[in-house]
């Protein structure tokens, strides 16, 4: 069979075809495409070293196809092997390549598209993040807003993730957003999230002896007492 060197995205899901001959295209024949973390001349290499595998399909007598996996290892380099499953399974060793290697380089990282995201300082808002390379299937990605992780994340597609926004933990208004799909693949965008400031919706005045009391109704006043202060036309209120 013949195999071309690939540079697929680490997020997986790309089609690979092995062209050759003698592949039994029937329902009982099962193939497996393995991507192993390093190459060795030892005969035990393909069982001793960590690898990821996807199902191979015999499209015809001369073609087997499979998809690349989501690459979870730190080293971007992997080596491809094709197996005919059975008892025992057999590796198809006659794979001819122009440079003598079946090396694969898993490239790329998650990307967030441009556009600012905002939410309340109290948190718990559901954010929709758009981008690329979030994985062709759910591998439990993680999102951080500034220094705090989202309360939970939900993978939707390779281009969309939902995140339950954390509350504001400092006086910084604009913070970075970091997306980690697998432990060694993450992407970030500086100042991509902005916390909404407090605002008032109504003000009412009540009179008590010698004192005018204002009742201010609004939102984003924080969920605990942080010694808020109010000014009326430049003059600070005596008590808030």
What is the DSSP track for 25-36?
-STT--EEEEEE
* Confidence at residue 45, expressed as pLDDT on a 0 to 100 scale: 44
pTM, to two decimals = 0.71
Measured CA to CA, the distance from residue 120 to residue 167 in angstroms comes to 8
Question: Torsion over CA of 37, 38, 41 and 45, rounded to 10 degrees?
Answer: -20
Residue carrying the six token digits 């970030």? 188
Domains of the chain in sequence order: 15-105 (2.60.40), 111-195 (2.60.40.10), 199-236 (no CATH)
Return d(Cα 192, Cα 127) in angstroms, integer: 12
Check residue 43 and give its pLDDT. Answer: 42
Write the CB contacts of 173 (distance below 8 Å, at least 6 apart in sequence): 194, 195, 197
Residue 60 is encoded by which pair of tokens?
């015809």
* Distances, alpha carbon 226 to alpha carbons 28, 223, 231, in Å: 69, 9, 16
- What confidence score (pLDDT) does residue 46 get? 46
Per-residue pLDDT tens digits for 146-190: 999 999 999 999 999 999 999 887 778 889 999 999 888 999 999
**What pairs with residue 128 in β-bridges?**
162
Q: Residue 226 forms beta bridges with which residues?
A: none
Residues of the chain with pLDDT under 50: 41-46
pLDDT the model gives residue 169? 75
pLDDT of residue 135: 92
Give which of 6, 21, 104, 12 is closest to 58, Cα–Cα: 21
d(CA 68, CA 97): 18
* Residue 42 burial by Cβ neighbours in a 10 Å radius (0-12, 13-18, 19+): exposed
pLDDT of residue 42: 44
pLDDT at 197: 73
Looking at residue 209, its pLDDT comes to 58
Q: Which residue intervals of the chain are DSSP H helices?
A: 45-48
Q: DSSP 3-state assignment of 168?
A: coil
The Cα–Cα gap between 240 and 229 comes to 6
Cβ(191)–Cβ(175) below 8 Å: yes
């Amino acid at each position: 069979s013949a195999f071309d060197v690939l540079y697929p995205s680490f997020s997986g899901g790309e089609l690979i075809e092995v062209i050759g001959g003698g592949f039994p295209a029937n329902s009982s024949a099962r193939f497996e495409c393995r991507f192993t973390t390093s190459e060795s001349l030892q005969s035990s290499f393909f069982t001793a070293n960590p690898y990821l595998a996807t199902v191979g399909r015999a499209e015809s007598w001369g073609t087997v196809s499979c998809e690349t996996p989501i690459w979870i290892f730190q080293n971007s380099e992997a080596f491809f092997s094709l197996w005919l499953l059975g008892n025992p399974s057999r590796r198809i060793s006659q794979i001819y390549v122009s440079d003598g290697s079946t090396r694969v380089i898993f490239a790329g990282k998650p990307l967030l598209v441009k556009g600012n995201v905002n939410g309340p300082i109290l948190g718990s808002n559901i954010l929709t993040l758009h981008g690329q390379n979030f994985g062709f299937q759910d591998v439990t990605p993680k999102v951080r807003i500034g220094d705090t992780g989202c309360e939970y994340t939900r993978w939707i597609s390779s281009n969309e993730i939902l995140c339950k926004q954390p509350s504001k933990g400092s006086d910084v208004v604009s913070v970075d957003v970091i997306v980690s799909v697998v432990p060694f693949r993450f992407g970030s965008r500086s100042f991509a999230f902005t916390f909404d400031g407090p605002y008032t919706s109504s003000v009412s005045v009540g009179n008590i002896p010698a004192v005018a009391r204002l009742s201010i109704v609004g939102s984003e006043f924080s969920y605990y007492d942080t010694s808020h202060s109010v000014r009326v036309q430049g003059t600070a209120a005596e008590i808030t």
